[in-house]
Amino acid sequence: MKILSVHNYYGRYAPGGDVNAMEAEAQLLIDHGHAVSKYARTNAEIYEDGTLAEKIAAFRNTAWSKRSYTEIKGIIQTIRPDIMHVHNYWLVLSPSIFAAAKDCGVATIFTLHNYRLICPGNHLLRNGRICEACLHGHPWRVLLNRCLPGRSLMKSFLSLLLYRETKRKRFLDAWVDAYIALSDFGRSKFIEAGLSETKVFVKPNFIKDPFHGVPIEKNKTCGALFAGRLSPEKGVETLLKAWAGLDYPLFIAGDGPARGYLQKKAPPSVTFGGWQNRENILKLLQEATCFIFPSELYEGFGLSLLEAMACGKAIIASDLGPRREMIKDGISGLLFKAGNTVDLRSKIDLVLGDRTMRQSMGAVARKTYLERYTPEINYEILMKIYETARTRSTSHK
């Protein structure tokens, strides 16, 4: 099978969770003998490199980019893929890429890595709190609240224009043969917003087994671990407040705009290690007592959670979005009320105070990973979605 993988980078080909998932999926397909071609553009063309005229033109091209339509159509006519798999089209690619594939008779898959299709602000978040206003017909609030990073008015306006156009087209329903949500929770939100229930499938993220089946060494009790972007919505400030007075090491792996502020707030027992590559993160996980995921976002499907599960670690996570699907509360980890420092502290005390509990939870987390989130299982799910999309695309010709 030939697959055309398409992605619109937010920055200058910047890495991120969606990029990591996309690249892992492409490699998975290649490993199974499929041919994968890639097409990508970046919003840096506008925000960083664009002239004033090009930035103005971005408003006109938001709903339909003639360049993107022409380029995608040309690539399809050259390589003749069976599937076009889109991971992001915001902003410079525009919805025109889906029309190009449909005009060429190619089945189209769209992975919903985040909530941007149904929320102009992307995260279903406003001023640090969950917000679902756009699900029920109030997208203009993205301008009032400037929900985009940096509170950018330009980005908020462009996002609103694109949202209105995609919603007018019933979220691209006529062009997309199958949407992939990362969780049952995500699927329910997309359907609530108006996507066709019969077109939204669930396929979670996956990771390769970091131990390749080799038994994991038991906890070395080298401290608790957080790994992720240091920005307000990730809940690290809540974690630091809960950690106050604890004479136990906590290692913060990650970087971001809130790092300086958080370091000033941190208790003496907290160490900031900065950005770490995946190899180092896995090493830290092997040595950690437990993994803490305090995010105050719904999130798509946290890869760091999967890594902790694969490493057999007890997890303490905020009870939002798909976390309850991943973590069996009290069995493979503990869930706490997002943003609640008292509840988080009580769960921290439980896990740190009971080695047997930690090991038992870690063993169940590892078992859950092996049963649900390995590449082999993911490949089977993906192939079923591809075949469904191809059948639908053929029937509409």
| Domains parsed from the chain with CATH numbers | 2-206+375-395 (3.40.50.2000), 224-372 (3.40.50.2000)
> What pLDDT is stored for residue 25 in this prediction?
97
Q: What is the pLDDT of residues 170-186, one digit of tens each?
A: 899 999 999 999 999 99
HSE-up of residue 191 (Cα within 13 Å, Cβ side) = 16
The residues with which 344 forms a beta bridge, in sequence order, are none
Q: Is residue 53 very low, low, confident or very high in pLDDT (cuts 50, 70, 90)?
A: confident
Q: Counting beta carbons within 10 angstroms of the beta carbon of residue 232, is it exposed (0 to 12), middle (13 to 18) or buried (19 or more)?
A: middle
pLDDT beyond 70 at 367 = yes
Paired tokens of 237: 């400030």
Please tell me the least confidently modeled range out of 121-135, 258-272, 273-287: 121-135
> What pLDDT is stored for residue 218 in this prediction?
52
Cβ(161)–Cβ(63) below 8 Å: yes
Q: What is the pLDDT of residues 145-204, one digit of tens each?
A: 788 766 777 778 888 888 888 888 889 999 999 999 999 999 999 999 999 999 999 999
pLDDT beyond 80 at 81 = yes
Mean pLDDT on 247-258: 96
pLDDT beyond 70 at 219 = no
> How many other CB atoms are found less than 10 A from the CB of residue 281?
23
> What pLDDT is stored for residue 317 in this prediction?
98
State the Cα–Cα distance between residues 171 and 18, nearest whole angstrom: 20
Q: What is the pLDDT of residues 293-350, one digit of tens each?
A: 999 999 999 899 999 999 999 999 999 999 999 999 999 999 999 999 999 999 999 9
State the Cα–Cα distance between residues 19 and 340, nearest whole angstrom: 31
HSE-up of residue 183 (Cα within 13 Å, Cβ side) = 20
> What pLDDT is stored for residue 193 in this prediction?
93
More confident residue, 241 or 218: 241
Mean pLDDT on 116-135: 87
- Averaged pLDDT of the chain: 91
The residue type found at 341 is T
Cβ(385)–Cβ(349) below 8 Å: no
Mean pLDDT on 21-36: 97
pTM for this model (two decimals)? 0.93
Q: Is 126 helix (H, G, I), strand (E, B) or coil?
A: strand
Cβ(103)–Cβ(73) below 8 Å: yes
> What pLDDT is stored for residue 397 in this prediction?
58
Q: Is 343 helix (H, G, I), strand (E, B) or coil?
A: helix
> What pLDDT is stored for residue 164 in this prediction?
83
State the Cα–Cα distance between residues 157 and 160, nearest whole angstrom: 5
Cβ(28)–Cβ(5) below 8 Å: no
> Which residues have a Cβ under 8 Å from the Cβ of 114 and sit 6 or more positions away?
18, 122, 123, 300
HSE-up of residue 389 (Cα within 13 Å, Cβ side) = 31
> How many other CB atoms are found less than 10 A from the CB of residue 188?
14
Cβ(4)–Cβ(81) below 8 Å: yes
HSE-up of residue 92 (Cα within 13 Å, Cβ side) = 24
pLDDT beyond 90 at 10 = no
